[in-house]
Amino acid sequence: MTAAAAVRSNDSLRLRGRSFMAFVLAPALPITEWLAQFDKWCRNSPNFFAGKPIILDLAGVTLARPEIAELITLLAARGVRIMGLEGAQPDQISPPLPPLLQGGRELPAMTSDGGALRPKEPNSLLIETPIRSGQSIAFPAGDVIVLGSVSSGAEIVAGGSIHVYGALRGRAMAGSTGNTRARIFCSRNEAELVSIDGYYRTAEQMDAHLRGRPTQCRLQDRVLSIAALE
Amino acid sequence: MAKVLVVTSGKGGVGKTTSTAALGAALAQAGQKVAVIDFDVGLRNLDLVMGAERRVVFDLINVVQGVARLSQALIRDKRLETLWLLPASQTRDKDALTEAGIASIIREMRGKFDWIICDSPAGIERGATLAMRFADAAVIVTNPEVSSVRDSDRIIGLLDSKTEKAEKGERIDKHILITRFDPNRATRGEMLRIEDVLEILSTPLLGVIPESEEVLRASNIGSPVTLNNAASAPARAYFDAASRLRGEDIPVTIYSERKRFLEKLFGRAA
Amino acid sequence: MSILNLFRRRGTAPVARERLQILLSYERSTRGQSDLLGILREEILAALGKHIQVDQDNIVMRMDRGATLSTLEIEILIPHAGIMLAAS
In sequence order, which ranges of chain A are alpha helices (DSSP H)?
31-44, 65-77
- Interchain pair B90, C27: CB under 8 A: yes
Phi, psi of A67, deg, nearest 5:
-70, -35
- Put simply, whether B261 touches C (Cβ < 8 Å) is yes
- C19, C57, C64 ranked by CB distance to B222: nearest: C19
- Interchain pair B154, A133: CB under 8 A: yes
Question: Which pLDDT score, from 0 to 100, does residue B232 have?
Answer: 95
> Which pTM does this prediction carry?
0.71
Low-confidence stretches of chain A (pLDDT beneath 70): 1-19, 103-122
Question: Which pLDDT score, from 0 to 100, does residue B116 have?
Answer: 98
Question: Which pLDDT score, from 0 to 100, does residue A103 have?
Answer: 67
**pLDDT by 10s per residue, chain B, length 270:** 899 999 999 999 999 999 999 999 999 999 999 999 999 988 889 999 999 998 998 899 999 988 889 999 999 999 999 999 999 987 667 688 899 999 999 999 999 999 999 999 999 988 999 999 999 999 999 999 999 999 999 999 999 999 999 999 998 999 999 999 998 888 888 899 999 999 999 999 999 999 999 999 999 999 999 999 999 999 999 999 999 999 999 999 999 876 544 444 444 443
Question: Which pLDDT score, from 0 to 100, does residue A7 have?
Answer: 44
Low-confidence stretches of chain C (pLDDT beneath 70): 1-10, 31-38, 81-88
Tell me the residues of C at the B interface, defined by beta carbons under 8 Å apart: 4, 7, 12-13, 15-16, 19, 22-23, 26-27, 31, 35, 37-38, 56-57, 59-66
Instruction: Report the gap between the CA of A127 and the closest CA in chain B (Å).
Output: 14
SS3 content of chain A, % helix, strand, coil (to 5): 15, 35, 50
Give the count of beta carbons closer than 10 Å to the beta carbon of residue C88: 3
Question: Which pLDDT score, from 0 to 100, does residue A4 have?
Answer: 42
Q: Is it the case that chain A and chain C have 3 or more CB pairs lying under 8 Å apart?
A: no
Question: Which pLDDT score, from 0 to 100, does residue B262 have?
Answer: 44
Question: Which pLDDT score, from 0 to 100, does residue B99 have?
Answer: 95
Angle formed by the axes of helices B126-133 and B99-110, to 10°? 30
Residue of chain B whose Cα is closest to the Cα of A132: B157
What is the 8-class DSSP label of residue A213?
A: S
Question: Which pLDDT score, from 0 to 100, does residue B38 have?
Answer: 97
Best residue in B153, B197, B200 for a mutation probing chain A (most A CBs within 10 Å): B153
What is the C-alpha separation between B195 and B232, in angstroms, rounded?
A: 24
Q: Of A111, A60, A67, whose CA–CA distance to A86 is shortest?
A: A60
C-alpha dihedral, B23 to B54 to B79 to C78, nearest 10° = 120
ipTM greater than cut 0.85: no
Q: What angle do CA C84, C85, C88 make, to 5 degrees?
A: 145
